[in-house]
């Protein structure tokens, strides 16, 4: 036991010497794997197929690459600043087509005829499982933005349940509008690594939550030069010990 302890102590001392001399272990280039959650073409909660219509009440989960995101739906209540639980809807197709993705409903049969997020409804994206798996959100794509329609993406910092969402806890990150005519897809990039995002429509129509992209950050490895410095320190300690014995 004393032999192993001595070796660990010498290694720690070598590191201390390197730090005292101004040497530090510099991280190498991080390797990132990207995941795309295309909500119009993914199955929810293990369904056998994608659908156009009501998926169900909170929460609906989507999994790719072993990583899961969840979506929860809410709609305005009679209490100011409070939204109550609703139903997640899905519009089948790919987000690149501009007319597919997730929506939110205030009724179990679909309050919006296009199965989208309309004014007064809210779709919450829950990133907790992805963050725990080492993934960080990077981009959200909003589809079906037509003239007069406005999508707002907010970070959410409050508590929530299947029955309520505190709208006073929203911090707006971006507002997307149609720059011309027709239906467009727009994305918000460089998102903060927040647990929750909420999408709503503040204009005159409805929009879809088409996709969310995430990147996995790997643990950085020390650069070869730093490892060489560390090895030099350990060798130096060994030589000093042999001289003392001589």
Q: How confident is the model at residue 181 (pLDDT cuts 50, 70, 90)?
A: confident
Residues 188-246: tens digit of each pLDDT:
999 999 999 999 999 999 999 999 999 987 654 455 554 555 455 545 555 555 555 55
Look up residue 17 and give its two tokens: 């010497």
Calculate ∠ Cα 108-85-178, nearest 5°: 85
Confidence band of 142 (pLDDT split at 50, 70, 90): very high
What's the pLDDT score for residue 238? 57
**Does residue 60 contact residue 71 with C-beta atoms inside 8 Å?**
yes
pLDDT in tens, 74-99: 999 999 999 999 999 999 999 998 99
What distances in angstroms separate CA 68 from CA 16, 19, 73, 131, 227, one per listed residue? 42, 41, 17, 10, 37
What pLDDT score was predicted for residue 12? Answer: 43
Please tell me the predicted confidence (pLDDT) of residue 35.
Answer: 96
∠ CA(157), CA(120), CA(185), 5° rounding? 80
pLDDT per residue as tens digits for the range 1-16: 444 445 444 444 443 4
CATH architecture assigned to 32-217: Sandwich (2.60)
Q: How many CB atoms lie within 10 A of CB 76?
A: 19
Tell me what percent of the residues of the chain surpass a pLDDT of 90: 65
Report which listed range, 19-28, 116-125, 174-183, is most confident. 116-125
Q: Which of the 8 DSSP states describes residue 22?
A: T
The model's confidence at residue 179, banded by pLDDT at 50, 70 and 90, is: confident
Res. 127 pLDDT band, cuts 50 70 90: very high
Query: For residue 43, what pLDDT is reported?
Result: 96
Minimum mean pLDDT among 3-12, 102-111, 158-167, 179-188: which range?
A: 3-12
Assess whether pLDDT exceeds 50 at residue 17. no
Alpha-carbon radius of gyration of the chain: 26
Each domain of the chain, given as residue ranges in start order, spans 2-28+221-245, 32-217
pTM of the complete model: 0.77
Beta strands (DSSP E) in the chain are: 32-38, 53-57, 60-64, 67-76, 82-85, 87-91, 101-105, 117-118, 121-126, 135-145, 150-156, 164-166, 170-177, 184-189, 196-201, 206-217
């Amino acid at each position: 036991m004393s032999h192993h302890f001595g070796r660990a102590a010498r290694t720690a001392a070598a590191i201390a010497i390197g730090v005292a001399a101004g040497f530090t272990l510099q991280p190498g280039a991080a390797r990132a794997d990207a995941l795309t959650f295309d909500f119009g073409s993914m199955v929810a909660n293990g369904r056998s197929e994608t659908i156009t219509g009501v998926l169900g009440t909170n929460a609906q989960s989507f999994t790719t690459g072993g990583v899961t995101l969840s979506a929860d739906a809410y709609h305005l209540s009679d209490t100011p600043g409070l939204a109550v639980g609703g139903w997640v809807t899905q519009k089948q197709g790919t987000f690149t087509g501009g007319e597919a993705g997730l929506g939110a409903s205030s009724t179990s049969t679909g309050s919006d005829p296009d199965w989208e997020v309309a004014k007064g409804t809210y779709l919450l994206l829950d990133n907790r499982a992805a963050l725990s798996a080492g993934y960080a959100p990077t981009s959200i794509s909003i589809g079906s933005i037509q003239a007069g329609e406005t999508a707002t993406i907010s970070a959410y910092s409050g508590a929530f349940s299947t029955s309520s969402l505190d709208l006073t806890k929203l911090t707006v990150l971006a507002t997307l509008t149609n720059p011309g005519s027709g239906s467009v897809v727009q994305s918000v990039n460089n998102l903060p690594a927040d647990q929750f995002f909420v999408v709503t429509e503040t204009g005159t129509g409805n929009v879809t939550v088409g996709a969310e992209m995430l990147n996995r950050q790997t643990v950085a490895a020390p650069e070869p030069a730093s490892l060489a410095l560390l090895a030099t320190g350990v060798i130096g300690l060994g030589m000093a010990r042999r001289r003392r014995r001589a």
